[in-house]
Structure 1
Amino acid sequence: MANLDVALLPNHWYAIAASTDLGSTPIAASLLDQQLVVYRTTAGQVVVLDDRCPHRGASLACGQVKGNAIACPYHGWQFDLDGHCAQIPSQQASARIPQAAKVASYPVQERYGLIWVFTGDRDRAAQTPLWELPEYDQAGWRVVQGQFDWAADYRRVTENGMDVAHSPFVHANSFGASGNEVIADFELEKSDLGAQIWIPIEPKANYRGSFNLLGRKQETPKAGRSGAAFHLPNITRIDIEFGNFHLILVGIHQPISATTTRSHWLHVRNFLTAGWADGGTRKRTAKLFQEDQKIIEGIAPLRDRNEISVASDRLQLYYRQLWQQHHSSLVAQG
């Protein structure tokens, strides 16, 4: 059986922080125990470097931004946006900066209110497109974002984010409706980096009520459809549609360590688009994750072990298959 120990698929873009987390001071970030420092230059450019000064190993995240550079808090060594040491304050003007005085730098994108880093083959970054969420920039949609932390393997969290069979049980006190336990047959729409399914749904009346638009005479249909999708290595998307009402919940699941995950979530809707509704959105989303958390943090590790799967698990099984294919290819390349 395949080795399912936790690992990164390196030649992908990973979200490591929210743009709102990054002010005028650096912040620390972690990607499967790889310690990174994130800072914004005075010109506004986001930079990601390894978070260890090569001098004595101090954390650069505790330092200061100096123009385009970051200064180590211990001895003031400054590193530019490419990771090269640009200044050593203790040296005399005639002294050369050691050639090895540098830290690794990584390609960065700032998109969807998040900071994304590419830690794989640097030459492949420009040819590797970022996952897309077209509704984010479209008129008529409201976006609310947040974070949620789990004591769990990021793949378990990712699988949960696409699981269509657990709602009547785990979310019985929120939107999961009894009577919806049986999952209808669905087609697995596959792509090179993911898959999507659609199933009919009929949630609780109180959940349907949240789709009502004030001032409209039309009623929300009692039945609709739900979509579940994933994009390697760690992105999930749930769509819920009732007539013209459309809600999207995206999870971008950052592997902080082998047993810690941070979900950067985006709640996107085309109804109740005024800001006053955002507080309720945050509360409902937090409740959703808290209900899942009780299960996911107590679940068995995803390793070399036997599990019994059924037809409703096909999307998760395809995620495992794709993940393993990409991981095996990486191992084969050495």
Structure 2
Amino acid sequence: MANLDVTLLPNHWYAVAASTDLVGTTPIAASLLDRQLVIYRTAGGQVVVLDDRCPHRGASLAYGQVKDNAIACPYHGWQFAPDGHCVHIPSQKTSARIPQVAKVATYPVQERYGLIWVFTGDRDRAGQTPLWELPEYEQPGWRVVQGQFDWAADYRRVTENGMDVAHSPFVHANSFGASGNEVIADFELEKSDRGAQIWIPIEPKANYRGSFNLLGRKQEPPKVGRSGAAFHLPNITRIDIEFGNFHLILVGIHQPTSATTTRSHWLHIRNFLTAGWADSGTRRRTAKLFQEDQRIIEGILPLRDRNEISVASDRLQLHYRQLWQQQCDRSLVTQG
């Protein structure tokens, strides 16, 4: 059994930046559990992700410039093509041979859901490993708002918080958490090979009726809705809130930037208030939600304590730990 130290599970797609972070061909830096990356877009729009260290003297390529679709080191101008190989060294004659070892590691990359995803592990498996699916993102009738939130916490703590159904009446009492809903109804785990989902009944807060009328619904609002919580390895969470025909989804893709820091790429998706005028309120409420969680999560130790006490309402998080640990152990055996 491996220990619980923070690690990247190999052979997964990890979001490392938002598409909007890339402006023109200007490169940006990103971090994936202390793995420093440089990301840039070629003139033709292709996204390239490389290790962010020039093999010459170790300068950060993220401070360089893109020239002829290659990234030029800001220190001595060495240029590296999208495949990672050095194609130009300004200080030597054009007839001189470029050392074969003058290259940087590259990563399979794809751009989807407004995010830049890289694949870690065996490159040959990237094409056979599908990206997690979010069908509502491309469907008409849904409004998507996206953003980022940073935590000083282990990404697995943040991921577990994103699927925790029992903390809302306490941590979010001043936002959406309704008092009197502390008891979590029995639920079944709907399992997949890389995740699980649960559904529980929920009651709206007292002011839900006013919100319902504001949205133009004249009929009696539903007294009971349902909430879904789900995870997908290694770091994706999804919360569904349904009241009648109203459906709200909050997705978190929790990027481990270091062993003790996390960046959550969040997506707020709804099938009501689909005009842009409501987006500022969505951003404000989502920020408040994360800030309420932040003061708790950042005060918890990293996920290394095997002596935590769990109860029935924690079964989704426990299943996450079990699957995460199984993949971690399997990767160690493979590497051995």
Q: Please, what TM-score do these two structures have when normalized by structure 2?
A: 0.96
User: Which shifted more, 223-232 or 21-30?
Assistant: 21-30
Contact 1:175/1:207 (8 A) holds in 2: no
Contact 2:10/2:331 (8 A) holds in 1: no
Q: CA deviation at 1:119?
A: 1.9
Segments of 5+ residues of structure 2 without an aligned counterpart are none
Matching residue of 1:15: 15
Deviations 1:105-135 (A, max 9, x none): 1000000000000121100000000001000
Secondary structure in structure 1 of the residue aligned to 2:234? coil
User: Which shifted more, 209-218 or 237-246?
Assistant: 209-218
Q: CA deviation at 1:24?
A: 2.5
Aligned equivalents of 1:70 and 1:86: distance in 2? Answer: 10
Identity percentage of aligned residues: 90
Aligned equivalents of 1:210 and 1:69: distance in 2? Answer: 52
Contact 2:146/2:268 (8 A) holds in 1: yes
Distance change >3 Å, CA 267–CA 56, structure 1 → 2: same
Q: CA deviation at 1:220?
A: 3.0
Distance change >3 Å, CA 203–CA 301, structure 1 → 2: same
Q: Does 1:323 align with 2:312?
A: no
Secondary structure in structure 2 of the residue aligned to 1:76? coil
User: Which shifted more, 212-221 or 96-105?
Assistant: 212-221
Q: CA deviation at 1:139?
A: 0.4
Distance change >3 Å, CA 85–CA 240, structure 1 → 2: same
Distance change >3 Å, CA 24–CA 220, structure 1 → 2: farther
Aligned equivalents of 1:212 and 1:115: distance in 2? Answer: 39
Secondary structure in structure 2 of the residue aligned to 1:105? coil
Distance change >3 Å, CA 209–CA 3, structure 1 → 2: farther
Aligned equivalents of 2:212 and 2:138: distance in 1? Answer: 21
Q: CA deviation at 1:15?
A: 0.2
Aligned equivalents of 1:114 and 1:302: distance in 2? Answer: 27
Contact 1:211/1:245 (8 A) holds in 2: no
Aligned equivalents of 2:294 and 2:213: distance in 1? Answer: 29
Q: CA deviation at 1:221?
A: 1.4
Deviations 1:85-108 (A, max 9, x none): 011111112101010000001000
Distance change >3 Å, CA 54–CA 209, structure 1 → 2: farther
Contact 2:9/2:331 (8 A) holds in 1: no
Deviations 1:151-208 (A, max 9, x none): 0000000000000000000000001111100000000000100000000001313356
Distance change >3 Å, CA 202–CA 121, structure 1 → 2: same
Contact 2:240/2:250 (8 A) holds in 1: yes
Aligned equivalents of 1:220 and 1:86: distance in 2? Answer: 64
Aligned equivalents of 2:21 and 2:54: distance in 1? Answer: 22
Q: CA deviation at 1:66?
A: 1.0
Distance change >3 Å, CA 91–CA 73, structure 1 → 2: same
Distance change >3 Å, CA 66–CA 300, structure 1 → 2: same
Aligned equivalents of 1:209 and 1:2: distance in 2? Answer: 51
Distance change >3 Å, CA 286–CA 207, structure 1 → 2: farther
Aligned equivalents of 1:287 and 1:321: distance in 2? Answer: 31
Aligned equivalents of 1:249 and 1:42: distance in 2? Answer: 34
Distance change >3 Å, CA 207–CA 290, structure 1 → 2: farther
Contact 2:198/2:229 (8 A) holds in 1: yes
Distance change >3 Å, CA 28–CA 258, structure 1 → 2: same
User: Which shifted more, 310-319 or 210-219?
Assistant: 210-219
Distance change >3 Å, CA 85–CA 150, structure 1 → 2: same
Contact 1:200/1:226 (8 A) holds in 2: yes
Deviations 1:278-309 (A, max 9, x none): 00000000000000001000012211430110
Q: Please, what TM-score do these two structures have when normalized by structure 1?
A: 0.97
Secondary structure in structure 1 of the residue aligned to 2:44? coil
Distance change >3 Å, CA 31–CA 223, structure 1 → 2: same
Q: CA deviation at 1:213?
A: 6.3
